[in-house]
Structure 1
Amino acid sequence: MKMGTMENLTPFMTFNRDEWAELRQSYPMEVTAEEIERLKGVNDVLNMQEIADIYLPLTRLINLHAIASQELYRSRYVFLHKQERKVPYIIGIAGSVAVGKSTIARVLHTLLSRFDHHPKVDLVTTDGFLYPNAELERRGIMNKKGFPESYDVHALLTFLTELKSGKSTVEAPVYSHLTYDIVPEEKQVVNQPDIVIIEGINVLQPPKKTSEDFGEQVYVSDYFDFSIFVDAEEENILHWYVERFKTLRKTAFRNPASYFRKYADLNDQEAYETAKGIWERINRKNLHENILPTRHRADLILRKGAHHLVSDIKMRKV
């Protein structure tokens, strides 16, 4: 086999930014500059051009997939002689801390809500399915918050099962980034949406099998109809993480209720060293052990360049 033919074995088609932008066709721009400011995260980069070149073609693609999926569901219920139930199209978004997942999730939520076929779109983050801090402390894994073992996977799977079974109202726990903990008694209510976006760092990870596993294993990504991985060079993600930490030190960390209030008075050098230390001890390890290995399980990979803008796209071949 010639080495050149190995390129044909990839399950992905690759598009550069210009090639992808052409796929927008006539889909109209319906986002204002004010909305863009509200959608982007701390130190993230988002502008009209990025919406037009990257996210309008992407939402057009997802719209086509969602419509086809709805038709398939209808046909299947007819085949099974069963009454049709409204089942949402579920999109999973994965990627490292600080890579911009939340901004992308909010953009897709906004744009997809404007299609006639699926106007009701909900966004749920898996942060709400983290164990409460007290439970993490009890288990001795507070320093592994964000690792797969820090999530109540059973609760998350139950939530997704109820969604895909067509249950009319489903509830998800709520997480506060201010207190760095689950908010007791508060729930996010999801009521018969057309689309649900599930955003979280480890949502594409398969279950870890052992020699004793002989039965069926189910994991979060089994419920996804479409999945996206947000990718970037590690040195860029580290830079974004540190810069975000330094910005939060001057804003959210100054709130007396903030879990991170102790970092608010650090000078620039201390903030840099603290953020880099947290990255090295926790986030880098999680990235390499749990997040990056799931990248090629996605249907679409958005690759970001140094300026937080998408440089190229890999789309799984159908």
Structure 2
Amino acid sequence: MNYVSRKHGLCHAVDVSQLPSVEPNSFAHLNGLGIAHDDIKDIFIPLAAMIWRRYQCWHSNFPMIIGVTGAASVGKSIFTEVLFTLLTSWCERGEVSCFTTDNFLFSSHALESMGLRHHKGFPESFDQTAMQQCLSDIRVGHSVIIPDNDHKLGGRRLNLCQQIDHPNIVLVEGVNAIYFGHYSSQVDIGIFLEAPLEAIKCWFLKRLKSFIGTSCCDSSSYFHALKGLYPEQMDEYLSRVWEEVELENYHLNILSQRDSADWVIDKKCDHAIKGLWLKG
């Protein structure tokens, strides 16, 4: 892999001069996500441009699939949302779709009954048959319906779903987005987000504590049982989840996808992108 640092300018390594313009409302949306203008210009537009250029040379009748993966809380959702917004700005309506593999997680109740309560996020906690069928259907150009999963509820939201209807570009994000239930890469462009593990731990604990704080009073929430914990008990619980679930899953199942990735995004402790590794 070849490393391109932010210092030396990804925008100089990728020609963006012939790209369509980005719509003002797209910039406004990205700013609303907390993405700085310099990051959009120096990092994300060149990255999206590489996808766009490949798409322009895409001679298949079937969609191009891009997988974005990495540890929990490393920033996959925001990263994917930025790429989706830029690509949508350059494409016709409906040509770009995105979804998360989290929508194929078994419910917390199902995981409990299968003895997988502490394996949420591990391969066996996903409905891999449904995931593989979804990817196969997208591959051959079929329209697919994807369930809507809510982490706070610990399961799928009834009567809510997402339709992927014959797009030309599909962005998939999740802890298994490159392997997608298989043991070999099933995407056309694989993107792995990495950062120092201590930073990922801090991001994860902060997000989980926020989830619990905003939903533990809701009796229908997965986190309701944690309502009565004292602060020191909560900290102990969070640390145990990190050590026994997230960190173990990262080393066993997530990190191995890095070798299959076409791009490895190098993030700093403040979520800023320092540079990236490019295959080839």
TM category, shorter = 0.7 to 0.9
Q: Name the amino acid aligned to 2:269.
A: A
Write out aligned runs for 1:149-298 (5 A): 149-167=124-142, 169-205=143-179, 221-222=185-186, 224-263=187-226, 269-298=232-261
1:300 corresponding residue in structure 2: 263
- Decide whether aligned partners of structure 1 residues 66 and 118 sit closer, same or farther in structure 2, where only a CA change above 3 A counts: farther
Letter in 1 for 2:115: G
Partner of 1:62: 51
Q: Max radius of gyration: which structure?
A: 1
* Change in CA separation of 1:206 and 1:127 when aligned onto 2, cut-off 3 Å: closer
Give the structure-2-normalised TM-score: 0.88
* 1:115 alignment counterpart: 90
2:178 and 2:261 in contact (8 A); partners too: yes
Q: CA deviation at 1:271?
A: 4.0
One-letter amino acid of the counterpart of residue 126, structure 1: T
- Alignment of 1:106 onto 2:86: no
RMSD, aligned CA: 2.5
- Aligned to 1:197, the other structure's residue is in SS state strand
- 5+ long unaligned stretches in structure 1: 1-11, 41-45, 74-85, 208-217
Q: Higher mean Cα deviation, 246-255 or 86-95? A: 246-255
- The alignment partner of 1:111 has SS state of helix
Shift >6 Å, 4+ stretches: none
Q: How many residues align?
A: 275
Tell me if structure 2 keeps the 8 A contact 1:67–1:117. Answer: no
**In the superposition, relative to structure 1, how do residues 34 and 220 fare at CA in structure 2: closer, same or farther (>3 Å)?**
farther
Shift of 1:37: 5.2
In 2, the alpha carbon distance for the partners of 1:288 and 1:102 equals 21
Alignment match, 2:11: 21
- Percent identical pairs in the alignment equals 30
Contact 1:129 1:173 in 2 (8 A): yes
Any residues of structure 2 matched to 1:32-47 within 5 Å, and which? 34-36=28-30, 38-39=32-33, 46-47=35-36
TM-score (norm: length of structure 1): 0.78
Separation in 1, partners of 2:158, 2:149: 9
Deviates further, 198-207 or 228-237: 198-207
Change (3 A) 1:187 1:198: same
What SS does the aligned partner of 1:313 have? strand
Instruction: Select the residue among 45, 60, 67 that pairs with 1:92.
Output: 67
Classify the secondary structure of the residue corresponding to 2:89: coil
Residues 268, 140 of structure 1: alpha-carbon distance in 2 compared, 3 angstrom cutoff: closer
Q: Which moved more, 1:191-200 or 1:262-271?
A: 262-271
Distance change (3 Å), C-alpha of 1:185 and 1:247? closer
- 1:221 is paired with a residue whose SS is coil
Could you tell me how far apart the structure 1 residues matched to 2:71 and 2:10 are?
23
Distance 1:196 1:206, change over 3 A: closer
Is the contact between residue 116 and residue 125 of structure 2 (CA under 8 Å) also seen in structure 1?
yes
C-alpha distance after superposition, 1:264-308 (max 9, x if no partner): 565655443332221011000000111112112101010110111
Structure 2 letter corresponding to 1:235: E
Q: Which runs of 5+ in 2 are unaligned?
A: none
Cα deviations by residue, 1:4-32 (Å, 9 ceiling, x for unpaired): xxxxxxxx110001321323644545466
